Each structure stands twice: as C-alpha cells, then as structure tokens.
Structure 1
Amino acid sequence: MTDNSKSEGTAPSDQAPDAKLKNSVLFVTIVSSFVTPFMASSITVALPAIQNDLHMDAVLLAWIATAYLLSCAVFLVPFGKIADIYGRKRIFISGMLIFTLFSVLCGLAPNPATLLAFRIIQGIGTSMIFTTGMAILTSAIRPQERGKAIGLTVAAVYIGLSVGPVIGGFLTQYLTWRSVFFFAGILGVPSVYLSIWKLKTEWYGARGEKLDVFGSVLYAIALTLLMLGLSTIPDVTGVLELVSGLVLFFVFVRWEQRSRWPVFELSLFTNNRGFAFSSLAALINYSATFMVTFLLSLYLQYIKGLDPRQAGFVLIFQPVTMAVLSPFAGRLSDKVAPRIVASSGMAISAAGLFGMIFLGDQTSIAYIIANLVLLGSGFALFSSPNMNAIMSSVEPRFYGLASGAVSSMRLLGQMTSMGITTMIFSIFIGRVKITDAYHREFLTSIEIAFVISVILCLAGIFASLARGEIQTVQEKPGDTSANATR
C-alpha cells in the first residue's frame, strides 16, 4: 500500500504499462476469477443433498443461491465507489479474505438460517472482488490488448464453472455437501496470498470524494424488496414488496441525480449509448441464462436419477465450451465490432435455450449435452466482446464505477433469473420438498422457465445491436483521476 501523501500519477492509457505489473495483475485477476465461479457452480449440484440434510423446501432451497446473489448485488455499487475512494487493491484483498473465511463457515452451518446468513456475508466478500478485479485489470492493460486480457479472465471464470460441477459432485457424493464449501475456502488461501504478493500498485479513481451512504441504503432496500417480492408472488405481500421496490428505485434515481457524490454515475447510462446498451444486453443475457445450471442440476438428479457426480459431468459441457471459446471471442472483439460478435452469440444462446423447452422424462442425455454446447458457444461469443465494449466505452476515471456497474448488471440478471425460477416454483410447486409426487409440476416449471428465457434472449439481441459502434475512450493527457500509485 502507498501513503496518501505521496504524489500520484498515471501514464496515458495508450502507452505501454509496466510489463511486470501488467503480468502480475493479469495473473492475480485470473486466479481470483476462477475461485468465485467455482463456488457458485460446485454448490449447485449439492443442492439436493443440502435439501435432504437440512430439510428445506423448494422455495427455501432456491434462496441458497439467491441470498448469495442478492448480497453481491446490494454491495457491488457501494464497494465500487469505496474502492475508487480508498483504493481498489485494498478492497480486492479484503474481499478475498471475507470470501475465504465464510466459505469455511458455510460448511460448518448447522441449520438453514445460519447457512443463509453465512452465504449473505460470503456474497459481500464476492462483491468486493467483482467490483475491483475488472477495474484493476482495465487500468493495467492498454486498450489494444484489453480484449485478449479480458478473454483470458473470462476463460478462467468458465474453467471455474467447468470443474465446479465435477469436483462439487464428487465431493458431495463421497464427503457430503459441506466439503464443497471447505474446498472453496482452501482455494481462497493461495488467492489471498497471491493478491498481497503480486499486486505492488494501488489504484484510485475518486480520491477525496465522499460515499453517498443514503443512496447506498436506498439501493440496497430497493433490490431486497424486489427479490423478496419475486419469491413470494402471487401473494399480496409479494406484490406490495415488488411495488415498493420499484418506487424506491425511482427515489434512488432522483436522489443520485441531485447528489454531489453519487454512488452510481447515472450519466454513464444517460450520456453513453454504447455503455448503456452493452450493460442492458448483459442484464438480459444473464436473466435468460443463469437459471439453466440450477434447473438442470435438479432435473438430472430428480427426473433422470443421476447422482451428484454424474450430474456434474453432464453440466460441465456448457462451461468447458465457454472456456475454450472465450479467448478466441475476446481476440475477435479487438478486430470485429463487439456488437456483431456479441449479438451473434446471443442468437446462438437463444437457440440452445429453445431446445431446453422440450425436456421430459424420456429426454436423452445426448440431447441435453448438445444444447449445453450450443448455449455455451453463444455465451462465450457474447460475454468477452460485451465486456470489452463496456470497459472501452468509458474514461479511465470511471473504470471502478463501470466495473461495478457491469458486475451489477450481471448479478441483477442472475437474481432476476433466480427470481423468475423462484416465482414459478412458488406458483406450480409451492413450499414443499421436490419428491416423486411433484415431478410433473417440476417439469411444467422447467418448461415455462425456458420459454421465458428464450423470449428474454431474443429481446437481448436487439439491445446488443442497438449499442452502435464502440469508440475506445482514451485517457486525456494530464488526467490523474484514474491514478495509480507505487
């Protein structure tokens, strides 16, 4: 860390950064990008075991994933601002420490309430990692190499997603579901060490500004009410929570427009077409696709009778495809307009989701794998180019906010996806355990969920195309607002 009294400065982003620093940042970012998605994907195949051990109903089971995502989304935007004020590396390392500690504590949870509480705190740590990792990477890599670097980072995410179901299924099968959390904690230890050892520079984007505490609280309450509402529809309480959440979002927007130090830079959306539509496309894409692994994990174990290990081997095909194609897609977006590559990927994803609509008792595993490969191909072609477009469309002083914003879009999309799933479960299954008696209702829920996903994905194609051509924003000479200190 550096003393605040030291001089600050940064080279213009079109000049070559320090090669050693660039490689260190890329290495640490790749390592941290692997750990958190591994946790998310590995726990998915353990959900039926968690349900049986802790006696949870279908709706509460969905909250094991949703509570973690909600916590991430609530704290992403505030921590993005905090990182810009007090240092991105400082927040990044703190997040890795929290994630590692509470991964272990989740494995020790004795009941559903404790597990949900620890998952919420684990999500806070993850939000600190998400909001700073991409901002640090973008600050250290010049624009001409950014697509390739982002592609490698995204590939690490998908490798984590790939091995997660397999390792998670194996651990759940032979060592209980608790070992999945312990394993994630073990992975976090070297990640913390590498972050402290490799990152020799601190980055700031808004030094001297103040945190908008009231705006942060408004944002948190609004998001929470929206997710609670989605999970309790069609009850009257759920409708009231949804409406209250929407009203508070409107109040939040009005407050941010008047705030001297807004926690969320709304001008990024109102004055930057490329950023706005790229973010919207990300929101729609994750809303359409995130539920796939959750639903298929339950389907493969409850309907097809596979054990957790076997289910993990089936689910691995989608993220493996993503991991293989993401570096290629990232490099391609350095040469071809991101809107073309990303929009093509969204269309391919829609085709893969369409095939999932027809899942039934007799559906072959080969058919499921084929659709997972198709979906993985589409997602890889969308994700890296879309991220490159977002980070290239803003000034360096907004890297922290942009990273937090795009992570918010991802998590809001994932929450929306799980919210849709929870709402469908509430309507068609109810607060009961998924057993043989409810298999027909479960299959109906899957069919409706994938129909909604296809519709969302088709809408996302238009959002992706509407962004127009992205012009890379260079740092202005003498601009020290995105400073890095040694």
Structure 2
Amino acid sequence: MEDKKIVIVAALTQLIEQLICNMTVVALPQIAIDLNFNIDMMMWVNMIYLCSLVAFCIPGAKIISQYGVKKSTLYCFILLFISVLISIFAVNPYLFLLSRGIQGLSCALLSVSIYMLIVNDLDEEEVGPALGIVGSAGYIGMLIAPSFMGFTMFFTSWRIAFLIFIPIILILFVLLRGVKKEWTTEKQKIDNLGSLIYVVTMALLAYGITILDEWGIVLVVASLILLILFVKVEKRVENPIYNLKLLKDARYVIGNYAAMAAYFTTTIAFSAITFYLLYIHQYSEFFIGLILLIAPIIMVGLSGFSGRLTKRIDPRIISGVAMAFIFASMLLYSFMHHFTLDYVIFASVLQGIGAGLFSAPNNKYVLTLVDVEDLPDASSLLSTSKEFGKILSGGIYTLIFSIFIVGGQLGDSSVNHLLMLSTHIMMMLNAVVAFSAMALLFYSYTKYELEYNLRTVAYIKRVFSTWVKDMF
C-alpha cells in the first residue's frame, strides 16, 4: 500500500511541477496589467523560476538525502504551499517574482526527491513501471499547462489557477505523511563554498542562455569560468556537493545527455508547431490546442508500457529506438511548410511515440547505474539535465528569431517566410541533437555490453556458417 502511495505522490508532484513551470506564459499579459509589470519584469516571471530551478537541484540533493527524503519532501510541500499563497495574494510585481523564485526552489528539491523516493522504496523490477507513470504525469503537466491556464482565465482569473494547487498540495502532504518509511544517508559536512559557486554559476548560465544577447554571452562566458572554478574546488574538498567521479562513467554521461536532448527537442517543437499553425495557416487557438494534444495523448499511453518493457529489454535499446522516432519527427517538422496539415499530424504522432517510449527507460537507466549513496547526485543531475535542455532550446530559438526577424511582427505576410526559415533551422538542429543522442545510446549498449555482444556475434556466425554449408 505504501508503495502505491509513493507512486501517486511522485506522479502528482511531477504533474503540478510542470503545470507551475509552464502555465504562466499564457497569463503574462493579464498578470502584467493586474500587478503593473513593466517589460523587463515580465521577462523575469519565468526567468527567476528557471534560474532557481536549475541552480538548487544539485546542492539541495545533499540536504534531502542527509536529513531524510520523506521529511525533506514534506517541508518542500510546505514551501510550495506558501509560494502559491503568495502568488494568489500578490499585490505588486515584487511579491509575485518572490513567489516564482520560491516555486523554482521548491520544485527543484521536489524533482530530486521524487526520484529518490521511487528508487529507494521500490524493487528494481518495479522502478521502470513506476517511472513510466511519473513520466506520463510530467508530460501531461508540461503539455496541458497553457490550456489549463487559458481555460481558467477564460472562466475566472489567473489567481484561481494557482488556487487550484492548494488542495492538491494538501492531499500530497497527507498522503506522504502516512508513509512510515524514511530514507537517509550518512550525515556529512555540507560544502558551503562549492554550493554557493554552483548556485551562482547555474543562475548566470540559465539567464545568459535565455537572453543570448551581448550581455547574455558575457554571462555565459562568466558562468563557464565559474564552472571551472567549481570543479577545482570540488576536487579539493572531502565531501563535495556532487561526486564528480560519476562523470567518468560514459554510460552515465550518455544517459544524462539523452535526457537533455529529449527535453531540448520536445518542448521547443510545440512552440514551432504553434507558430506554424497560427501565423502561417491562421488556424484558431482552439484548433491548434487540439493538434497539440495528439503527441501528449500518445506519450501518456506509451510511457507506462515503456516502463514495463524495461523488465525484458535493455533501457538503452528502448531509449535509442525512442530517439529514432523523435529524430524522424524533427526531420518532418523541418519541412512541414512544404506539406499539408496531415503531414504535421503524422509528425506529431511520431514525436508522441518517441517521447512516450523514452522517459521511463532512460530515467531507470541513469538512476540504476549508481550506488545507493550516489543516488542523490544522480537524481539531481538528471533533473538539471532535463530543465537545462528546455532552457537551451528556448534560448537558441529566440536567438535565431532575433537574427532573422529583426524589427518584424509575427503574422505579417512579409515575415512569414523568415518565420519558416527560423523554424526550419531550429528543427534541423533538433534532428541533429536527437540523432546524436540515439547514436550514443546504441553505442553505450554495444560498447559496454561487450561480452553479451560477442556471444551474439559468435552465435550468428555459427548459424550463418551452417546455413552456407547446407546451401552448397
């Protein structure tokens, strides 16, 4: 019974994390009017959330594991509850931005803790199916977030959208508190200097990538310098905030890169489809919403199945095949302006199959590669990789827009061809990223399962040799 409670808590937590992260984009204009935001402050509504999210995943993992995964998760629910209340009752932009920063912090810690709950509590054969359910919930939240906010604003207001989370968070708190188990690691001194350097590094990197103008490039360079300093500091301390030795395992690095690639391609593809259908074909927002639901529905249907499939097939094979579907869909998207709507729907189906098959196997692959004591580090880097993928793709797409559409207005017939050129370039880049992840996953399997592969090759040679003798 407790196992089911933990899976439910993890799935619902993943759902509301993605909703909170992605739903404010639709409400920004109305929030700006109600709270008197200026243009710069509007940009910070999502920026401060993302910077907080990627900055605190890894430092927070050490605290969670040492002070108790269940207890820390309960405190995170309280923190998220407070942040949502601040959003609801915010009377000025500063309070609302404060709430977004706290939401980023609490969601960063929750994204780490839910993986630790599942991997620590469940048997290894049950981890895959559970991660499939959690992955489905995450995809649902990420992809219905704009529609959720849009419908809520149509009938009530953006504040009610935040209010809806209050009972859900309370339910999660009660469910998790009913779990009797607790998971901790040996308490060690926290590396405060390393934590500080890492938080500043990731905040600057996330901000710099998102704007990618002259100042953005400066911030990215500064963050890379700080990253080098962080590595040097971590090598010298006894208890680093992240075990850098994990990065020596190529399989682990490939798994995290694949996670980054999946979120890099999937999230920005939905923006590209929206622009294409809205500005090129001038379909209604309602119709576009229906088209965008195709991939999520398929993702939800396949995510649980792919988790169960890991009991019989190596997760890298499943993830590699999934990336092949994503690669094909990105290639089709890059040329969608030459074809009809049916073509876009078919590409969405391929994307949904790929994304649905990918998440659970790759999560299981990464999280089960490490020892139990390194699970906090593995969970935190996996979460960071996913969010970093979304930030990086959004920043690059914005940069491409700024290069080709200078001073133009989306929707004008004079810039439509530039919109399609920008989308073509971004989707081709997506295809390259997906193909590289696919190739690396298959390489990981063939390279690091050498003994099994040699037996397979020997068997094929023996069968082939027999067949040739029979023929002649």
Using the size of structure 1 for normalisation, the TM-score is: 0.82
Residue 357 of structure 2 corresponds to residue 378 of structure 1: no
User: CA 1:369/1:99 → structure 2, altered by over 3 Å: closer, same or farther?
Assistant: farther
Cα distance in 1 for partners of 2:408, 2:172 equals: 39
Partner of 1:212: 191
Partner of 1:103: 84
Partner of 1:266: 244
Cα distance in 2 for partners of 1:365, 1:178 equals: 36
Cα distance in 1 for partners of 2:283, 2:152 equals: 15
Q: 2:317 aligns with which of 340, 343, 350?
A: 340
Contact 1:84 1:400 in 2 (8 A): yes
Partner of 1:406: 382
Q: Which runs of 5+ in 1 are unaligned?
A: 1-19, 472-486
Q: CA deviation at 1:81?
A: 0.7
Residue 268 of structure 2 corresponds to residue 288 of structure 1: no
Cα distance in 2 for partners of 1:105, 1:437 equals: 43
Residue 391 of structure 2 corresponds to residue 415 of structure 1: yes
Cα distance in 2 for partners of 1:342, 1:367 equals: 25
User: CA 1:249/1:106 → structure 2, altered by over 3 Å: closer, same or farther?
Assistant: same
Q: CA deviation at 1:349?
A: 0.5
Q: 1:226 aligns with which of 205, 223, 229?
A: 205
Higher normalized helix content (fraction of residues): 2
Q: 1:132 aligns with which of 82, 106, 113?
A: 113
Q: 2:174 aligns with which of 193, 197, 219?
A: 193
Residue 371 of structure 2 corresponds to residue 392 of structure 1: no
Q: CA deviation at 1:72?
A: 0.9
Residue 61 of structure 2 corresponds to residue 84 of structure 1: no
Residue 7 of structure 2 corresponds to residue 31 of structure 1: no
Residue 188 of structure 2 corresponds to residue 202 of structure 1: no
Q: CA deviation at 1:139?
A: 0.4
Partner of 1:448: 425
User: CA 1:438/1:64 → structure 2, altered by over 3 Å: closer, same or farther?
Assistant: farther
Contact 1:234 1:427 in 2 (8 A): no
Partner of 1:12: none
User: CA 1:41/1:309 → structure 2, altered by over 3 Å: closer, same or farther?
Assistant: farther
Q: Which AA in structure 1 matches 2:62?
A: K
Cα distance in 1 for partners of 2:264, 2:216 equals: 20
Q: CA deviation at 1:328?
A: 0.9
Q: Which AA in structure 1 matches 2:391?
A: M
Q: Which AA in structure 1 matches 2:358?
A: F
Cα distance in 2 for partners of 1:300, 1:55 equals: 30
Deviations 1:54-104 (A, max 9, x none): 7776x9766544432221110000110111111111221222222233234
Cα distance in 2 for partners of 1:185, 1:367 equals: 41
Q: CA deviation at 1:126?
A: 0.3
Deviations 1:6-60 (A, max 9, x none): xxxxxxxxxxxxxx33222222222222221233344455456667877776x97
Which deviates more from structure 2 when the two are superposed, residues 172-181 or residues 22-31?
172-181
Q: CA deviation at 1:395?
A: 1.1
Cα distance in 1 for partners of 2:87, 2:279 equals: 25
Q: Which runs of 5+ in 2 are unaligned?
A: 450-472
Q: Which AA in structure 2 matches 1:427?
A: I
Identity %: 26
User: CA 1:344/1:46 → structure 2, altered by over 3 Å: closer, same or farther?
Assistant: farther
Contact 1:170 1:309 in 2 (8 A): no
User: CA 1:396/1:233 → structure 2, altered by over 3 Å: closer, same or farther?
Assistant: closer
Which deviates more from structure 2 when the two are superposed, residues 164-173 or residues 216-225?
164-173
Cα distance in 1 for partners of 2:413, 2:203 equals: 33
Q: CA deviation at 1:250?
A: 1.1
Cα distance in 1 for partners of 2:364, 2:57 equals: 20
Cα distance in 2 for partners of 1:431, 1:248 equals: 35
Q: CA deviation at 1:172?
A: 3.0
Cα distance in 1 for partners of 2:283, 2:24 equals: 16
Contact 2:409 2:415 in 1 (8 A): no
For residue 358 of structure 2, give the secondary structure of its aligned residue in structure 1: helix
Residue 219 of structure 2 corresponds to residue 247 of structure 1: no
Cα distance in 2 for partners of 1:427, 1:416 equals: 17
Partner of 1:257: 235
Q: CA deviation at 1:390?
A: 0.9
Q: Which AA in structure 1 matches 2:364?
A: N
Deviations 1:400-458 (A, max 9, x none): 22111211111121221222233334434469985648853544433332222122111
Q: Which AA in structure 2 matches 1:268?
A: L
Cα distance in 2 for partners of 1:438, 1:281 equals: 38
For residue 290 of structure 1, give the secondary structure of its aligned residue in structure 2: helix
Partner of 1:476: none
Cα distance in 1 for partners of 2:165, 2:415 equals: 32
Cα distance in 2 for partners of 1:268, 1:68 equals: 28
User: CA 1:135/1:181 → structure 2, altered by over 3 Å: closer, same or farther?
Assistant: same
Residue 298 of structure 2 corresponds to residue 318 of structure 1: no
Contact 1:46 1:308 in 2 (8 A): no
Cα distance in 1 for partners of 2:44, 2:267 equals: 14
User: CA 1:402/1:242 → structure 2, altered by over 3 Å: closer, same or farther?
Assistant: same
Contact 1:69 1:414 in 2 (8 A): no
For residue 261 of structure 1, give the secondary structure of its aligned residue in structure 2: coil
Q: Which AA in structure 1 matches 2:312?
A: K
User: CA 1:405/1:47 → structure 2, altered by over 3 Å: closer, same or farther?
Assistant: same
Cα distance in 2 for partners of 1:101, 1:463 equals: 42
User: CA 1:281/1:178 → structure 2, altered by over 3 Å: closer, same or farther?
Assistant: same
Q: Which AA in structure 1 matches 2:164?
A: F
Q: CA deviation at 1:356?
A: 2.0
Cα distance in 2 for partners of 1:163, 1:287 equals: 18
Which deviates more from structure 2 when the two are superposed, residues 421-430 or residues 140-149?
421-430
Which deviates more from structure 2 when the two are superposed, residues 125-134 or residues 310-319?
310-319
Paired residues in the alignment total 446
Cα distance in 1 for partners of 2:232, 2:90 equals: 41
User: Which has the greater radius of gyration?
Assistant: 2
User: CA 1:283/1:430 → structure 2, altered by over 3 Å: closer, same or farther?
Assistant: same
User: CA 1:121/1:429 → structure 2, altered by over 3 Å: closer, same or farther?
Assistant: farther
